[in-house]
Structure 1
Amino acid sequence: MSYKKSLKRAGFLAATVGVLGLMSTGIASAHVTANVYGAQPTKGGYGAIFFRVPNEDPAVGTTKVEIEIKPEYAIGTVRTTKVPGWTAQVTKTKLPAPVKNAAGADVSEVVTKVSWTAEPGNKIAAGTSEFAEFEISIGALPKLDEIEFPATQTYEGNKVVNWNEKAPAGGEEPEHPAPTVKLADKKAEGDHHGGATATDTSEHTEAAAGSDTTARWLAGAGLAVGALGLGVGAGATIRARKAGKGTN
């Protein structure tokens, strides 16, 4: 296969993968999801979680979003950020007796719900082209591999959609899955930030090799162009000298 054909095939494959990626992103974004931007929250630690809420009804907009936090998570602290046009409320529940959270502290009240209510004129618009994100800072997180945040989305006219279905292991995603977040082990997170993995090293080596090959190719091309320039200049000088002798 020629070099040009290889480039065309590679470009076609890249474009296809990009389109498929956009399609899969669009499909996933149709659900209420819990997202983490940056380092994954750790078990027993604190983290920032963003709840992305898309509007899915063509006729009415979203006016309220509620996130449930299971009491068994024993989470004592949740803070919200200001979302223009929305009012946030954190609900705490008194426990019959204090319990120790994942950080080893005694808590007698735990957060069980966070809700955001749209002020007049600030709903997520009807249709399927808008979404909003609601951020919380939460901790101490339980020592689990994954935590769930069942959500309730309320539309105008009191239409309610519950996002609370658990995805079966290895099975198809349910119609209304509960937003989930995976938690990392503290040791694993430290290893990730403190040293390169075998994959990182391999990718770095391949990138360095590619850069070195490119640099060598460019250097060789530069030398060839320079040699060509010197040859042209020398030829011009010789012709000029011959022309001068002929004139004399």
Structure 2
Amino acid sequence: MRRPRRGLSIAVTLAVVWLAGFAGAGAASAHVSVSSPGAVQGGYASIVFKVPTESATASTTGLKVQLPADQPLASVSVLPVPGWSYTVTKAKLATPISSDDGDITEAVSVIEWKAASAATAIKPGEFNQFVISAGPLPKAAAMTFKAIQAYSDGSTVSWIEQAAQGSTAEPEHPAPTLTLAAAGASSAPPSSAAPTASAATTASSADEGNGRATTALVLAIVALLLGAAALTLAGLGRRSGRPS
């Protein structure tokens, strides 16, 4: 009579482990990221920083992005975000950048966005996007932008970690990394990567609702499977207990 119960406990344990992995996968993906469809080495592109709020109680009130010092960009402009202000810091270049207008001796090193009020901060369960237009992009496979996310409770999260050389494991707080296509590769026009100001505002509650519905459906299916397994094992236990 104990074997069916042991089998049921194993099934429940496996289901709990699977559910924990499902929840963990969702949490791990909720970090500051960067994207730019059509970004090509040597070209110009709109670069989008996506900032979700991971905290369940505090809102995101600030974002500081460090542009890679070893890959200076001659031209950088910022798309205004309603309800947010920004400051741009420049740094002197050890090696000037040649351009049609002459040598460029300094380049943007840091861009910092701040929410103007609590009403425009990124609330729990929401995200926002911050966009810059920049170029020429370096002739490299990727660019890494270290970022610091500030919360309304005074805490910060530093998205600055990079995977060890040769490792495929993602760090706990990975630095946003942008992959650049080789020059001449087929790509979409840079303008397609730049959302309008309205498109760069916080996500709608419909998206959040869809996510909750999907999670509920998965949990319901798991519950049904566990119930079926319990009934099956209980039936086997009753049959094994009957006298032959």
Short-chain TM bin:
0.5 to 0.7
**Alignment partner for residue 188 of structure 1, among 180, 185, 189?**
185
Bigger Rg, structure 1 or 2: 1
Q: CA deviation at 1:29?
A: 3.9
Q: Which residue matches 1:159?
A: 155
Separation (CA, whole Å) in 1 of partners of 2:161 and 2:101: 31
Q: TM-score, normalised by structure 2?
A: 0.61
- Tell whether the 8 Å contact from 2:74 to 2:136 is kept in structure 1 after alignment: yes
Q: What letter is aligned with 1:78?
A: V
Q: Which residue matches 1:35?
A: 35
Q: Which residue matches 1:66?
A: 64
**Alignment partner for residue 114 of structure 2, among 99, 106, 117?**
117
Q: CA deviation at 1:98?
A: 2.2
Separation (CA, whole Å) in 2 of partners of 1:100 and 1:74: 12
**Superposed counterparts of 1:5-84, under 5 Å:** 26-27=26-27, 29-36=29-36, 38-39=37-38, 41-84=39-82
Separation (CA, whole Å) in 1 of partners of 2:161 and 2:142: 15
Is 1:143 aligned with 2:143? no
Structure 1, unaligned stretches of length 5 or more?
1-21, 194-248
Q: CA deviation at 1:35?
A: 1.5
User: Cα–Cα, structure 1 residues 85 and 123, in superposed 2: closer, same or farther, change >3 Å?
Assistant: same
- Tell whether the 8 Å contact from 1:42 to 1:189 is kept in structure 2 after alignment: no
User: Helix, strand or coil: the match of 2:134?
Assistant: strand
Separation (CA, whole Å) in 2 of partners of 1:26 and 1:89: 32
User: Cα–Cα, structure 1 residues 97 and 184, in superposed 2: closer, same or farther, change >3 Å?
Assistant: closer
The range that moved more, 46-55 or 73-82, is: 73-82
Structure number with greater CO (CA < 8 Å, separation at least 6) is: 2
Q: What letter is aligned with 2:66?
A: E
- Tell whether the 8 Å contact from 1:87 to 1:116 is kept in structure 2 after alignment: yes
Report the identity percentage.
37
Structure 2, unaligned stretches of length 5 or more?
1-21, 190-244
Count of residues in correspondence between the two structures: 166
User: Helix, strand or coil: the match of 2:184?
Assistant: helix
Q: What letter is aligned with 2:35?
A: N
